Amino acid sequence: MRVFKDHLIIKGSSVKQALELLNLLSPDSILFVVDHEERLIGSLTDGDIRRGLLNDFNLTSRIDEIIQPNPRFIRKGENDIKKIIAYRDELFRILPVVDENMRVVNVINFRNIKSYLPIDAVIMAGGRGQRLQPLTDKIPKPLLKVGEKPIIEHNIDRLASFGIDDFWISVKYLGEQIEQHFGNGNDKNIKIEYVWENEPLGTIGAVSKITNFEHDNILVTNSDLLTSIDYENFFLDFIRQQADFAVLTIPYQVNIPYAVLETNDGIIKSLKEKPTYTYYSNGGVYLMKKDVLNYIPKNSFFNTTDLIETLLNNNYKVISYPFSGYWLDVGKHEDFEKAQLDITTYKF
């Protein structure tokens, strides 16, 4: 996989050096010119060089006078997803991402990713996976392969395909294997840090250990899910409803094989013939504003359901995001077997 620094060139480089880099980047042939501290100065394309050569530049000339000085960019941590969508829709395919000092920290390519969501992702991967024994006796459940890659890697790759590039993985049981498998994330052009649970902290307690989130919105997901969720739609719905916390919910239908009577003090008010009722279950994926994490006690066992109840009691806006696409919790042997079949049909 191409790393973002392949798109960077130092100011003062020669036209020949630029052409050599552009040739390697084809068909993504754009360079971002930076100073020696990798602060963004401008951009450079084949067209800029062609115009320079027509104006008597040569291969040994410096690129500084032919660069475009005001390239569009995305600022790291910027929450304006509509601006990012507008760039994509206007066919600005490749854009640098800069920090508060204009230092380039990433380069995104909408040919390779669907969006660039201003979200940090936390993947909960510390569980023992007892229901999948003996498969999990020597391998942590998140590293069990579905198709050609581990369950957790399907999750990371899908999140990364929506431009999420700041990851934390909460680990405990055989966590060293997960850390060894992914390292710091450079191979995927993302950043991965690890949160170690010295003792079980529940389904969200480990998040209290993270103090260096990059963004104001946090996504927390279980590591043993396979899903085709569109994370951009999830985030847009979260923003549109001005929610504090959102839960991915999965519809579950109950078919009653008999007529159901609705009564009041023994008096029949209505009758429904073999009705179907739809309920929504917790899908294990959550979006939240960073400030709600203050309700998670430090280094204590705490479940996501505890957090939701606390937020409801404090009048925060907690919403459901009903999802009818592909979703599978790989918790039991039959689920794992189903996943092996589904991987040939669905794109996670």
Q: Is pLDDT above 60 for 1?
A: no
* Token pair listed for 320: 């459901």
Q: Is pLDDT above 80 for 348?
A: no
Q: Is pLDDT above 90 for 16?
A: yes
The DSSP 8-state label assigned to residue 114 in this structure reads S
Q: Is pLDDT above 90 for 167?
A: yes
Share of the chain above pLDDT 90, in %: 75
* Token pair listed for 284: 């294990």
The DSSP 8-state label assigned to residue 61 in this structure reads S
What is the spatial distance between Cα 174 and Cα 278, in angstroms, rounded to a whole number? 39
Q: Looking up tokens 């294997």, which residue turns up?
A: 177
Closest CA to 301 of 172, 178, 181: 172
Residues forming beta bridges with residue 167, ordered by sequence position: 121, 192
Q: If you count them, how many residues does the chain have?
A: 348
Tell me the whole-structure pTM to 2 decimals. 0.88
Strand segments, DSSP code E, in 74-196 are 74-75, 94-98, 104-109, 120-125, 145-146, 149-150, 166-171, 191-196
* Token pair listed for 265: 């003090």
Q: Is 194 helix (H, G, I), strand (E, B) or coil?
A: strand
Residue 312: per-residue pLDDT:
97
* pLDDT tens-place string over residues 299-337: 899 999 999 999 999 999 999 999 989 999 999 999 999
Domain limits, the chain: 4-109, 120-342
Q: Quick check: 123 and 152 in contact, CB under 8 A?
A: yes
Q: Is pLDDT above 80 for 346?
A: no
Fold assignment, 120-342: Spore Coat Polysaccharide Biosynthesis Protein SpsA; Chain A (3.90.550)
Q: Quick check: 120 and 158 in contact, CB under 8 A?
A: no
Q: Tell me: domain 4-109, CATH 3.40.50.11540, correct?
A: no
What is the spatial distance between Cα 194 and Cα 230, in angstroms, rounded to a whole number? 25
Cα-Cα-Cα-Cα dihedral sign, residues 49, 54, 59, 61:
negative
* pLDDT tens-place string over residues 56-78: 889 999 999 999 998 999 998 87
Q: Is pLDDT above 90 for 136?
A: yes
Lowest mean pLDDT among 91-100, 116-125, 221-230, 338-347: 338-347
The DSSP element (H or E) to which 50 belongs, if any, is helix 46-54
pLDDT band, very low/low/confident/very high, at 254 (cuts 50, 70, 90): confident
Residue 92: per-residue pLDDT:
86
